[in-house]
Structure 1
Amino acid sequence: MTSIGLYEALIASFFILTFCFLFNKKPLSSLPIKKTLKSYPWNWPVFGMLPGVLVRLHRIYDCSVEVLENSNLTFQFKGPWFSGMDILATVDPANIHYILSSKFSNYIKGPEFQEIFEAYGDGIINSDSELWRSLRKSSQVIFSHQKYQNFSTSTTRSKLKDGLLPLLSHFADEEMVLDLQDVFQRLMFDITFIFITGSDPGSLSIEMPEVEFAKALDDVGEAIVYRHITPRFLWKLQKGFGIGTEKKMMKANAVLDRVCAKYISAKREEIRSQGITHNSDEESEEDLLTSHIKLDTSKYELLNPEDDKFLRDFTVGFMAAGRDSTACTLTWFFWILSENPNVLTKILQEINENVAKTRSDVQDKNNLVYLHAALSESMRLYPPIPFERKSPIKPDVLPSGHKVKSNINIMIFLYAMGRMKDVWGEDAAEFKPERWISETGGLRHEPSYKFLSFNAGPRTCLGKNLAMDLMKTVIVEILQAYEINVVHGQKIEPKPGLILHMKHGLKVTVAKKYSTLE
C-alpha cells in the first residue's frame, strides 16, 4: 500500500476481509472495480466507502480525478458508520472561493484537524480565529522586514555555492546515480533550518547523513496520513497502548521537542550574551527564531515568546511548511523538463538572455517569465500540497447546492482540480506553460481559488514570493552549470501523503557544462 506499516496494513486488510465475508462473500478480485473507478466509490453497509479507498490507496490521486470528474466536481464520501469519517470532496472553484474567501470565518481547521495534526502544536498550521490572526500578523511583519530578507537571500546563495553545486559536481565526476528528490529535500531542510535557527544541520553533504529532526518530521507526516484513513477509535486505541504508527509518532514528537529545546535555549543565550534588545535595529540580518524571541508582546497579546512551547510550535510548523513543499515542486519540475525537452530549450534560452552567468539576483529572475510559467504549470499538475481540509462552524449551503452540516470534513483535492476539464479546459491534462502567458508576453493571472498551490483568501501563503524566487534561483544555478538526465525505466508515481512526493524518488545522472549558454 504505502509505508503506513505492517500493523496498519493488517488492520486495513481485516476491515476489508471481514466485510467480504459478512456481506459479500466474494474475493477482492470480484469487487466492482470498474464501477468504483468510472462512476462512484461503492458504499458498503457498515464500512461505507473506506474499503474501496484502502485497496486503491496506491493510486488514490488518479481515482480522485475520475470520481470528481464523474460527479460534477463535488462528491460525498461516506465513511464507516459512527466513525466521523464522512467527507465532502470538492474541486468546484465556486465552492472553493466561497469556503476560503467569501465565508472564510465559517470555515476553520477545527478541533478534529488540530487533533490529527497535534504534532504541529498551536502554530500557524493548526490555529484558528484570533490566535491565527496574531500569528499571521507577526509573521507577515517579520517576513517583510529587510533583516530577514537579507538573511534569506544570503543563506540561499551560500547553501547553493557551498552545498548543492559541489555535491552535484562530485556526483558528476564520479558518474554516480543520485536521487534528486533526496537532494532537494536535504537542500530545503538545511535552508529552512538556517532560516529559522541560524544554524546549518549539514544534511546536504556527500555522505548524505541521516538527520534525526528530518526523520522525525517524516515519521510525523506518515502518522498523520494514517490518522486520515483510519477510524478515530482505532488510532486512539493505538495511541493509548503506545503501539503501531502511534508509537512512531510519540518517538518522533520526543525528538522534535528535544531538538527544538536545544536550539531555543541556545538562541536565548546568544541573544542575552549579545545584549540584543527588542528595539535593536543594528543587525543587517536576522533569523526567524531570533525575531520571534524578540516579539513585542504589546502588539501581539496572544503570543508569548517567553514560552518555549510557543517557539517549539513555531519551529516545527515552519520547518514542515518550508522544507517539503519547495523540495517537492523542484523534484516534479526537473522530471517534467526531462519529459518536455522543448520546454527546457525555451527556459535555457530565456536564462541565457536575461541572467548573467556570474550573477543571478532577484532582479534578473523577475524577467524569467517562461520559467515562472513553467513552474506554475508544474504546480498545477503536481501541487506540493495535494489536498486542503476545512470544517464549517455552522451549517451552510455551498454554491454547488450541497448542504454541509457543522463540523463535517470538507476536502479540496488540488491534484484532481488541476486535471479538471471543467476548470482548465479540454487540455487540462497537458503540460503547457503557454497557458500562463498573456498575448503581450507577460504572466497571465489565474485566481487563487482556481490555482490553489499557495492557498487562497486570508490564508494565502506568506512565503509565496520567497518560495518562487528561491526555486528560480535553484533552477537557474543548476541549469547554467549542469545537465540533469533522468534514468530511464524507473517508475514515476506520487506517494499518498500530506506532500506529493515521488513514491520511488527521482534517479538521475549529472553532467557538467563546460561552456556558457549559447
Structure 2
Amino acid sequence: MFSQELPIYTALLLLVLPLYYLYSKASCKSKNPAVLPTNWPILRMFPSFVANFHKMNDYFTLVLARSGHNFRVHGPPGTGMRFFVTCDPANIRHIFTTNYTNFPKGAEFAAIFDIMSGGIFTIDGEPACRQRTKIKSVLSNPQLVARIEGWSRDKVENNLLLLFTHMARTSTSFNMQELMSRLMFDLAAMPLFGVDPGLLSLDMPPMEAAVAMDTVMEVAYFRVVVPASCWKLMRRLNIGPERKLKAAHKVLRGFVMEMMERRKIDTSSVGNGKQHEGVDIMSSFLDDPYYTDDDMFNALTISYMIAARDTVGTALTWIFYNLSQNPNIVSIIRNELSPIASCKVAAHPDAMVIFEPDETKSLVYLRAVLYETLRLYPPAPLERKMVVTNDILPSGHEVHAGDTILISLHSMGRMEGIWGKDCLNYNPDRWLSEDGNKLRYVPSHKFLAFNSGPRMCLGKDIAVMQMKTVIASTLWNFDVELMKGQCIEPKSSCILEMKNGLIVKLKKREMLH
C-alpha cells in the first residue's frame, strides 16, 4: 500500500521541504497577512496550510473569526488530512466533557509525540485513567507538595534573584525567556528526580536537554500540519526535521539516564534512600512494576519534564512581556503585595523581599494577571483529537470517524463573540468580580489553558504557585524594561515560545523605609 502511494508522498515531500526551511528562516519583518484557504484541484487546502506554517495561530484566528468559530480543511486524496478546526466553547464542552470518549488523543497523536508514547499525554482509556490516578496520588502527597513549594521558593531566592541582581548591577540586557526556561527546567527535574540539574546559575551551563525538548515540540508541530505519511517518509530517509528530532531523542534519553545515576548517588549518600522516600516523584513509580519498561519510563519522565518546564516557563515569559508594557498593572500588583512586603522590609530593610507560596495564595489580582496572560497566550495553543464514530457537534457540524479535530486555544482567547469587543486588550479586570475581591467564574470549556473535563491539568495548583512566586518576587524587587526594536513573534512549535526570545533590562527598585 505504501509503495503504491509513494509518488504522491514524494511530490508532497518535494513541496514541503523547501517551504519548511523557507518559513523556518522567515523574519517577522514580513507583515504579509495570513493566506485564507483555497480549495485547489488535487492538493485541496494543503498549500494554504504550508503557506501559513510559520503563523498558523494567526491563520486559524483569522479564518475562525470569519467562519463562525468553525471550519473544515481537506488535504490531497489519500493523505488522510481531514481536519475540523474549532474554537467554539459549546463544541469544546462536547468534545472534552459531554462525549469525551468519542474524541481520544488517538494513535496518530502518540506517533507524533513518539518520545512520550505511553506517557500521560499520549494515552487514552483505561491506561490514561490508571496513570492519572497514580500521578494525582503522587502530586497530592503533602510532603511532596511542601518540598515543591520549598524548592520553588529557594530557587527564586538563591538563584533567580541573585542572577537578577547581577544583571541589574551591571545594567546587562539578557534573554528573559532563556532564564525562565532554565529556572523551570531545574524546578521540573527536582521533584521528579530529587536532583538539581543546576542550569540556573551565573556561569549559564550548556542546556542540551532543554534545547532537545524545544526540538521535540517544534518537529511535533510540523508533524501535526503535514500528512503523516510525509513525515514518516522523512523519518525513514532520516532527512529534514526528522534528522534533527532523532538527535534530540538521543539527548533526552541520555539526560534521563544521567539524572537517574545522580539520583542513585544522592540516595546512597543519605543512607539507603530514606531521605528520598515520598519526596521525589520517581520513588512512587520505581516501586510499581507497571513502569519498569525502559520506554515507558522514558515516556513518563520526559512527558513530565516537558509539561512542567514548557508550560510554566512559556507563560512566565509572556507575563513579563505584557507587564513590561503595562506599568499601571505592575503598580496594582505591587499595591496588592505591599501589606505582605511591608513587614519583611521593616525587619530587613536592605534584603531582597521573597514571597512565600502561602503568602501569595490568596492574591486575587495577581491570579487575574496570570489568567489574562494565559487567555491571550496559552502555552499550548493547539489541542488535537480524533473522532471515533460519526457525531454531530452542538454547532450543527457533522464530524466523521477518522477525522482530526484541532482546537485552537489561541484563537478562542481572541474571539469577540466569546470575550467581547475588547478581546484583544490585555485587561486583568475582566477576571474580577465587581468589587474586585473575587475571581469571576469562567468555565473551563471557555478558558482551556488548564484543559477541561476528565483530562483537567493535575499540576494546575503547583503551576499557579510557581508563577506567583516568580512574578511577585521579581516585580517587588525590580523594574523590568523591554528593550526596543525587538521582533516578538511565536515559534513554529506546539509550545508558544517566542522565536527570538525576550530581551529585557532590570533596574533595582529603591525602597522607601
Whether the 8 Å contact between 2:378 and 2:409 is mirrored in structure 1 is yes
Deviation sequence 1:387-421 (CA, Å, 0-9, x none): 11111211111111111111211010000000111
Residues 1:428 and 2:414 aligned together: no
Q: What TM-score, normalized to structure 2?
A: 0.88
Residue of structure 1 in register with 2:195 after alignment = 199
Q: Secondary structure of the equivalent of 2:85?
A: strand
**Distance in 2 between residues matched to 1:44 and 1:79, nearest whole Å:** 9
Residue of structure 2 in register with 1:289 after alignment = 282
Whether the 8 Å contact between 2:160 and 2:200 is mirrored in structure 1 is yes
Deviates more, 1:239-248 or 1:66-75: 239-248
CA positional deviation for 1:220: 1.6
Whether the 8 Å contact between 1:147 and 1:283 is mirrored in structure 2 is no
When residues 442 and 216 of structure 1 are mapped into structure 2, their CA distance, relative to the original with a 3 A threshold, is same
**Distance in 2 between residues matched to 1:283 and 1:245, nearest whole Å:** 39
Residues 1:322 and 2:316 aligned together: no
**Distance in 2 between residues matched to 1:393 and 1:310, nearest whole Å:** 25
**Distance in 2 between residues matched to 1:59 and 1:272, nearest whole Å:** 50
CA positional deviation for 1:350: 0.8
**Mind listing any 5+ residue stretches in structure 2 that lack a counterpart?**
1-11, 21-31, 345-352
When residues 359 and 247 of structure 1 are mapped into structure 2, their CA distance, relative to the original with a 3 A threshold, is closer
**Distance in 2 between residues matched to 1:191 and 1:413, nearest whole Å:** 28
When residues 418 and 9 of structure 1 are mapped into structure 2, their CA distance, relative to the original with a 3 A threshold, is farther
Q: What amino acid is aligned across from residue 16 of structure 2 in structure 1?
A: A
CA positional deviation for 1:255: 1.9
Q: Secondary structure of the equivalent of 2:423?
A: coil
Whether the 8 Å contact between 1:78 and 1:85 is mirrored in structure 2 is yes
Deviation sequence 1:203-232 (CA, Å, 0-9, x none): 112232222211221222222122122222
CA positional deviation for 1:117: 0.9
Q: Secondary structure of the equivalent of 1:290?
A: helix
Whether the 8 Å contact between 2:194 and 2:276 is mirrored in structure 1 is no
Residues 1:210 and 2:206 aligned together: yes
Residue of structure 2 in register with 1:130 after alignment = 126
Residue of structure 1 in register with 2:485 after alignment = 489
Residue of structure 2 in register with 1:85 after alignment = 81
Q: Secondary structure of the equivalent of 1:108?
A: coil
Residue of structure 1 in register with 2:94 after alignment = 98
**Distance in 1 between residues matched to 2:104 and 2:264, nearest whole Å:** 34
CA positional deviation for 1:463: 0.5
Whether the 8 Å contact between 1:329 and 1:382 is mirrored in structure 2 is yes
**Distance in 2 between residues matched to 1:114 and 1:208, nearest whole Å:** 34
Residue of structure 2 in register with 1:108 after alignment = 104
Deviates more, 1:114-123 or 1:242-251: 242-251
When residues 45 and 372 of structure 1 are mapped into structure 2, their CA distance, relative to the original with a 3 A threshold, is same
Q: Aligned ranges for residues 270-419 of structure 1 at < 5 Å?
A: 286-295=279-288, 304-355=290-341, 356-357=343-344, 358=353, 360-419=355-414
Q: Secondary structure of the equivalent of 1:222?
A: helix
Residues 1:170 and 2:166 aligned together: yes
Whether the 8 Å contact between 1:483 and 1:513 is mirrored in structure 2 is yes
**Distance in 1 between residues matched to 2:266 and 2:338, nearest whole Å:** 44
Q: Pick the aligned partner of 2:117 from 97, 118, 121.
A: 121
Residues 1:231 and 2:227 aligned together: yes
Q: What TM-score, normalized to structure 1?
A: 0.88
When residues 9 and 377 of structure 1 are mapped into structure 2, their CA distance, relative to the original with a 3 A threshold, is farther
Whether the 8 Å contact between 1:197 and 1:287 is mirrored in structure 2 is yes
**Distance in 2 between residues matched to 1:111 and 1:249, nearest whole Å:** 19
Q: Secondary structure of the equivalent of 2:434?
A: coil
**Distance in 1 between residues matched to 2:455 and 2:174, nearest whole Å:** 36
Residue of structure 2 in register with 1:12 after alignment = 16
Deviation sequence 1:427-450 (CA, Å, 0-9, x none): 111111111011242111100000
CA positional deviation for 1:57: 2.6
CA positional deviation for 1:267: 4.0
**Distance in 2 between residues matched to 1:402 and 1:60, nearest whole Å:** 23
Deviates more, 1:133-142 or 1:116-125: 116-125
Q: Pick the aligned partner of 1:478 from 474, 478, 482.
A: 474
CA positional deviation for 1:478: 0.6
When residues 14 and 44 of structure 1 are mapped into structure 2, their CA distance, relative to the original with a 3 A threshold, is farther
**Distance in 2 between residues matched to 1:144 and 1:337, nearest whole Å:** 32
Whether the 8 Å contact between 1:79 and 1:86 is mirrored in structure 2 is yes
Q: What amino acid is aligned across from residue 486 of structure 1 in structure 2?
A: L
Q: CA RMSD in A?
A: 2.3
When residues 240 and 75 of structure 1 are mapped into structure 2, their CA distance, relative to the original with a 3 A threshold, is same
Residues 1:515 and 2:501 aligned together: no
Whether the 8 Å contact between 1:289 and 1:311 is mirrored in structure 2 is no
Q: Secondary structure of the equivalent of 2:383?
A: strand
Deviates more, 1:208-217 or 1:470-479: 208-217
**Distance in 1 between residues matched to 2:146 and 2:400, nearest whole Å:** 47
Q: What amino acid is aligned across from residue 65 of structure 1 in structure 2?
A: T
Residue of structure 1 in register with 2:72 after alignment = 76
Q: Pick the aligned partner of 1:446 from 423, 427, 442.
A: 442
Deviates more, 1:94-103 or 1:347-356: 347-356
**Mind listing any 5+ residue stretches in structure 1 that lack a counterpart?**
1-7, 17-32, 298-303
Whether the 8 Å contact between 1:150 and 1:284 is mirrored in structure 2 is no
Residue of structure 2 in register with 1:253 after alignment = 249
CA positional deviation for 1:250: 1.4
Q: What amino acid is aligned across from residue 431 of structure 2 in structure 1?
A: W
When residues 15 and 199 of structure 1 are mapped into structure 2, their CA distance, relative to the original with a 3 A threshold, is closer
Deviates more, 1:250-259 or 1:316-325: 250-259
CA positional deviation for 1:105: 1.2
Residues 1:461 and 2:457 aligned together: yes
Whether the 8 Å contact between 2:19 and 2:51 is mirrored in structure 1 is no
CA positional deviation for 1:80: 2.4
Deviates more, 1:450-459 or 1:489-498: 489-498
Amino-acid identity (%): 36
When residues 362 and 154 of structure 1 are mapped into structure 2, their CA distance, relative to the original with a 3 A threshold, is closer
Aligned residues: 481
When residues 181 and 411 of structure 1 are mapped into structure 2, their CA distance, relative to the original with a 3 A threshold, is same
Deviation sequence 1:84-135 (CA, Å, 0-9, x none): 1221000110100000001111110001111111111200010111110010
